[in-house]
Structure 1
Amino acid sequence: MSISVEVDEPGAPESAGTRVVDGIRDAIIQGDYAPNQRLIEADLSDTFAASRATVRTALLELANEGLVERLPNKGSRVRAISLDEAIEILEVRSGIEELCAAKTAESITDTEIAEFTRLRVRLLDSVAEGDLAEYARLNRLLDQRIREISRHATASDVLARLHAQSVRHQFKLWSRVSRAKVSVLEHIAIIDAITARDPEAAREAVRVHLLSVIEALRELA
């Protein structure tokens, strides 16, 4: 696993903690740490060039997100999320993501439309070039920006946690070229509805996409 790290600096515990949380979360999502794998604080401290206290706090935060299990007197391990649970999470996500997409379509600025238009091109290019790792990264970026631009703090917080729990299963789909070619068109439909400032079309595009993801996961199983 290749991870870019920065050494903790005195007086900047928040940035160090965020960096470690994000790094471990990404490694879990991408499968670098397998379900039920023990997460050794000393090893993580070396990997992320962070203090043991920073790593311990990061693991507690990820436990709150449902990605990590804290074992009494045994440390932590990656929480195993079943396919059935992942599908249930996607079903819950659907309604909240529809709301965020509609809110984003209502409030998006001209500058943000330009940003989404550039992201649209990059998504299409990543799939055309077969760069599925980049496609997965751009997917996560799109989800994040929709949450942020919706300016719905409660929905955004809930989605951030649910997304982290189910995205590991979706990552398996994104690694398949055939699925990526379908998925990218669904994401383009979401972007087009949002940049057209059409809330109802944005809701429908999100609903269609997540139903498609659920069906694809069931077929994968």
Structure 2
Amino acid sequence: MPKEARPSTGEQAKRHAFAQLRQAILHGEMAPAQRLVENELAEQFGVTRASIRAALIDLEAQGLVERIRNRGSRVRVVTVEEAVAITECRMALEGLCAAKAAVAASDEQLTRLADLGAAMKKAVADGEPVTYSDLNHQLHDRIREISGQQTAVELLERLNAQLVRHRFKLALRPGRPQQSLNEHLAMIEAIRARDPQAAEAAVRAHLASVIDALGD
């Protein structure tokens, strides 16, 4: 059967353009301050300019794109000061999720957290910062998932998307994975001990360390 044609207009076309643009920004294929020309993007994704414009408006709402009057759109530049402010917000939300995860986690979920911790240890020992960074993101995602706090999860997804470039730079900084490993292991141990106060404190301590590293 012939492949179904992708719609060039309408809500589905906008969602397609939004997903493709968001992925390109998060994966670093579009750099901060890069201009986003509607005509070029419409041709690239096979949709109309109206669909691209609607997608850019949604991406602006997520903090990934900024629209400059009379100059069009560009990938948003997140300053260090903004990254610190976002991380301060993460402290409250991720601390909440960790506390809830410590109460809600099943034995199987606790085992999976321990497995992630072991994989993170191996990545650091093997000198694989990119693998460690991926596992780091998986750990935070898993804790949020276990927490069941959907409102916090949705807010954190938006906040974390704005920090991708800063987080990647930190992951590649010499010595940073070794430092953050112990912080992540403390988070895992507190959740496995089913101690919500200790879990929240461990997350806050970790993110305070991230803030210090951002300022270096």
Deviation track 1:58-101 (CA, whole Å, cap 9, x = no partner) reads 43332111111123454421111111111111112111111111
Superposition TM-score, scaled by structure 1 size: 0.80
User: 1:64 — aligned with what?
Assistant: 61
Aligned residue among 99, 102, 106 for 2:99: 102
User: 1:216 — aligned with what?
Assistant: 213
Residues 209 and 71 of structure 1: CA distance in aligned 2, closer, same or farther (over 3 Å): same
User: 2:129 — aligned with what?
Assistant: 132
Residues 134 and 62 of structure 1: CA distance in aligned 2, closer, same or farther (over 3 Å): farther
Q: Secondary structure at the match of 1:61?
A: helix
Task: Quote how far apart the aligned CAs of 1:182 are.
Answer: 0.4
Residues 210 and 42 of structure 1: CA distance in aligned 2, closer, same or farther (over 3 Å): same
Query: What are the residue-to-residue correspondences of 1:156-167 with 2, within 5 Å?
Result: 156-167=153-164
Residues 18 and 128 of structure 1: CA distance in aligned 2, closer, same or farther (over 3 Å): farther
8 Å CA contact retained: 1:20, 1:58: no
| Corresponding letter in the other structure for 2:210 | V
User: 1:79 — aligned with what?
Assistant: 76
Q: Secondary structure at the match of 2:175?
A: helix
Which segments of structure 1 move beyond 6 Å, counting only runs of 4 or more?
none
Gaps of at least 5 residues in structure 1 are 1-6
User: 1:20 — aligned with what?
Assistant: 20
Q: Cα RMSD between the aligned structures? A: 2.8
Pair member with larger Rg: 2
Deviation track 1:172-210 (CA, whole Å, cap 9, x = no partner) reads 111123011101211111112112221111111101101
Superposition TM-score, scaled by structure 2 size: 0.82
8 Å CA contact retained: 1:136, 1:171: yes
Q: Structure 1 vs Structure 2: percent identity of aligned residues?
A: 43
Residues 116 and 46 of structure 1: CA distance in aligned 2, closer, same or farther (over 3 Å): farther
8 Å CA contact retained: 2:18, 2:58: no
Q: Name the CA distance, whole Å, in 2 between partners of 1:120 and 1:25.
A: 29
